[in-house]
Amino acid sequence: MTNDKGPIVRLLLIGDVVGKPGRQIIGRALAGLVLRERLDLVVVNAENAAGGSGLTPQIYRELMAAGVDAITLGDHIYKRREINPVLEREANIVKPANFPPHAPGREFMIVPARNGVSVAVISLLGRVFMRPVDCPWTAADRVLAKLPPEIKVILVDFHAEATSDKQLMARHLDGRVTAVLGTHTHVPTADEAVLAGGTAFQCDVGMTGPYDSILGRRVDRVLETTLTFNPTHFEVATGDVRLCGTIVDADPTTGRALGIKRLRVDTKEAEELATLA
Ligand SMILES: [Fe+2]
Ligand SMILES: [Fe+2]
C-alpha cells in the first residue's frame, strides 16, 4: 500500500484471544478484515486461546489457517505444555524476551509481511502484579541490539498489568521501534498515539473474546469465588463477543509509525466481514 508519502506497511495486533468465542470471531472476521483494512501483517496474542489459558498445537494451526501471520503469548504461555515443541520449531511464534534463556521458545522473530517487508516482533512481560521475570527494559535493549540493521519495522507486544510501565516502555523505545502495544489486561484503552520519536503506542489493545464477563470468564463463577473464597471453575463466558486490536501504519524505510487506529469488531460486523472473504 502507498500514501502520499510513499509505500507503507500496515500491521494489526489482535489482543488476547480468549477460548472458543475468541477463536470463532477471528475465524469469521479476519480474512475480510485483511481485505477491508489492506493489512500486511496480522499478529495475535494467543496466550488465552485454549479454553482461556495457554495454546495448543491444534489451535496454533487453526489460527494460522484463519490468516494469522505470527503469535505472541504472555504469562500463560506454558499452561499447555504440548505447545513447547511448536515454540521451539516454528519461526512465527515467540516467548517473552525477558524469560530465562532456557525457557522454551525464541526471544524475537522476523516475519515477512504480505508486501514483502520483514517485520521483527518482540514480546516482553511486565513485573508488577505478575510473576517476577528479568528486567523488560534491558531485555528490550538486548534484543534490539541483536536485530539485523536492515530490519526497520519492529513491533513490541508489552504484556503487562501496569499502565505506567507500559508508558515507560513506550518512552524508553520511542524512535527505536515502530510500535509498543500493550496486552494482558483484556481491557482496551483510549490512549493510542504516535509519540514524538515516531513510535506508536497504546496501553492495551483489548481482548478478543466475550466482553459480558470478567476478563473473559463467567461473571457468576468469578463473583462466587470472590465473595466466598470457594474455588470454582472459571469457565470462558459467551456473551458480547468482540475482536479487539490495533492497526499501525509504518514507513518501511525508516520504521517510523505513520498512524495508529483502534479496531473493535462485534459479531454482527464479523458476519458482514465473512461475506467479503
Ligand atoms: Fe490474557
Ligand atoms: Fe496475560
pLDDT value of residue 206: 98
The model's pLDDT over 20-50, given as tens digits with 9 standing for 90+, comes to: 999 999 999 999 999 999 999 999 999 999 9
Listed residue (51, 42, 91, 49) closest to 73, CA to CA: 49
Query: Per-residue pLDDT tens for 144-201?
Result: 999 999 999 999 999 999 999 999 999 999 999 999 999 999 999 999 999 999 999 9
User: Cell numbers of 62, please?
Assistant: 487453526
Q: Residue 99: how many CB atoms within 10 A of its CB?
A: 21
How far is the C-alpha of 203 from the C-alpha of 164, rounded, in Å? 9
Could you say which of 76, 159, 184, 186 is catalytic?
76
Q: How many other C-beta atoms can be found within 10 angstroms of the C-beta atom of residue 91?
A: 10
Predicted pLDDT at 215: 98
Mean pLDDT of 104-113: 98
At residue 277 the predicted structure's pLDDT band, cuts being 50, 70 and 90, is: confident
Task: Respond yes or no: is residue 172 known to be catalytic.
Answer: no
Query: Ion ligand 2 — residues with CB under 5 Å?
Result: 74-75, 184
- According to the model, what pLDDT value does residue 2 have? 72
Specify the pLDDT at position 4.
61
Q: How far is the CA of 17 from the centre of ligand 2 (A)?
A: 10
pLDDT of residue 238: 97
What would the 3-class secondary structure string for the chain be?
CEECCEECEEEEEECCECHHHHHHHHHHHHHHHHHHHCCCEEEEECCCCCCCCCCCHHHHHHHHHCCCCEEECCCCCCCCHHHHHHHHHCCCEECECCCCCCCCCECCEEEECCCCCEEEEEEEECCCCCCCCCCHHHHHHHHHHHCCCCCCEEEEEEECCCHHHHHHHHHHHECCECEEEEECCCCCCCCCEECCCCCEEECCCCCEEEEECECCECHHHHHHHHHHCCCCCCCECCEEEEEEEEEEEECCCCCCEEEEEEEEEEHHHHHHHHHHC
Give the ligand with the smallest distance to the CA of 77. Answer: 2
**116 CA distance to ligand 1 middle (Å):** 30
Average pLDDT, rounded, for the chain: 97
75 CA from centroid of ligand 2 (Å): 5
Average pLDDT of span 72-77: 98
pTM over 0.75: yes
Considering every ligand atom, which ligand is closest to the CA of 48?
A: 1
Instruction: Say how many Å lie between the CA of residue 8 and the centre of ligand 2.
Output: 31
Ligand closest to Cα of 17 equals 1
pLDDT tens string 191-234: 999 999 999 999 999 999 999 999 999 999 999 999 999 999 99
Q: How far is the CA of 39 from the centre of ligand 1 (A)?
A: 24
